[in-house]
């Protein structure tokens, strides 16, 4: 089994994934340090900085910019870019075997889930349930406080994201149901702090393995 344990937060745009991930990172879960991997934020940062590194070539950066402009999902032939982004994050944050990864925005469809499963052990799925009407209202109000400066929150773009979530991302939940991953369903009518408390109580299947020293994954 791989060494990277993770919780996957799934929900439509505006459902509060980022505020929840931030709380998990701040407080930790089940005695473990948490690292919140916000895939969308990582994409935006890489595109904005545009810096060629050991992980990203100029070609990669241009493709990431194009992906953001067109709101396209990374399909199978380009999934290696998602892997580069993930492993760059893990290395920069000095992720260790005893730590817990909070996945937000990746995987977004079943093929991505199958690829992620090769390197990440997803031990729980948290589904944030939210109607399209509430999504639009929350985005307009910036309820989570995490959408300042976003250029992808027009009504047309939000509607397109909701459509993609319904037809491409929701099936990911069934994928993990089939392989026995516990799912926690949460209504977003409660605060992110309350959702965090619910997750914190669901610790039956999380076990530390191996040495408790700070051994780096990458």
Check if the beta carbon of residue 15 is closer than 8 Å to that of residue 188.
Answer: yes
Residue 141 has pLDDT above 60, yes or no: yes
The domains of the chain are located at 4-201
Mean pLDDT of 4-14: 91
Residue 163 has pLDDT above 80, yes or no: yes
pLDDT of residue 145: 58
3-state DSSP call for residue 124?
Answer: strand
Name which residue leads in pLDDT, 137 or 143: 137
Res. 143 pLDDT band, cuts 50 70 90: low
Residue in the structure block whose two tokens are 């369903």: 185
Q: Does domain 4-201 have CATH number 3.40.718.10?
A: no
Long-range contacts at 169-172 (CB < 8 A, ≥ 24 apart): 169/10, 169/108, 169/109, 171/109, 171/110, 172/8, 172/10, 172/107, 172/108, 172/109, 172/110, 172/112, 172/113
H/E element, 125 = strand 120-129
> Distance between CA atoms of 214 and 87, rounded to whole angstroms?
17
- Ranked by mean pLDDT, which of 106-120, 155-169, 202-216 comes out on top? 106-120
Give the chain's end-to-end CA distance (angstroms, integer).
16
> Distance between CA atoms of 75 and 57, rounded to whole angstroms?
19
- Nearest to residue 64, comparing CAs of 168, 51, 18? 51
pLDDT in tens, 98-132: 999 999 999 989 999 999 999 999 999 999 987 77
């Amino acid at each position: 089994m791989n060494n990277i344990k993770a919780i996957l937060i799934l929900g439509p745009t505006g459902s509060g994934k980022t505020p929840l991930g931030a709380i998990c990172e701040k407080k930790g879960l089940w005695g473990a340090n948490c690292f919140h991997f916000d895939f969308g934020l990582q994409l935006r940062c890489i595109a904005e900085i545009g810096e060629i590194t050991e992980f990203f070539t100029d070609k990669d950066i241009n493709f990431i910019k194009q992906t953001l402009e067109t709101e396209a999902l990374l399909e199978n032939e380009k999934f290696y870019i998602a892997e580069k982004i993930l492993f760059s994050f893990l290395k920069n944050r000095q992720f260790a075997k005893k730590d817990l990864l909070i996945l937000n925005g990746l995987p977004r469809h079943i093929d991505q889930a199958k690829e992620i499963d090769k390197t990440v052990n997803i031990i729980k799925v948290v589904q944030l349930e939210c109607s399209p009407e509430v999504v639009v209202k929350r985005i307009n109000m910036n309820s989570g406080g995490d959408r300042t400066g976003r250029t992808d929150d027009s009504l047309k773009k939000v509607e397109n994201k909701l459509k993609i979530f319904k037809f491409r991302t929701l099936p990911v939940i069934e994928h993990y149901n089939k392989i026995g991953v516990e799912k926690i369903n949460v209504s977003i009518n409660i605060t992110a702090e309350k959702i965090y408390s619910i997750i914190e109580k669901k610790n039956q299947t999380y076990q530390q393995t191996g040495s408790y020293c700070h051994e780096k994954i990458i």
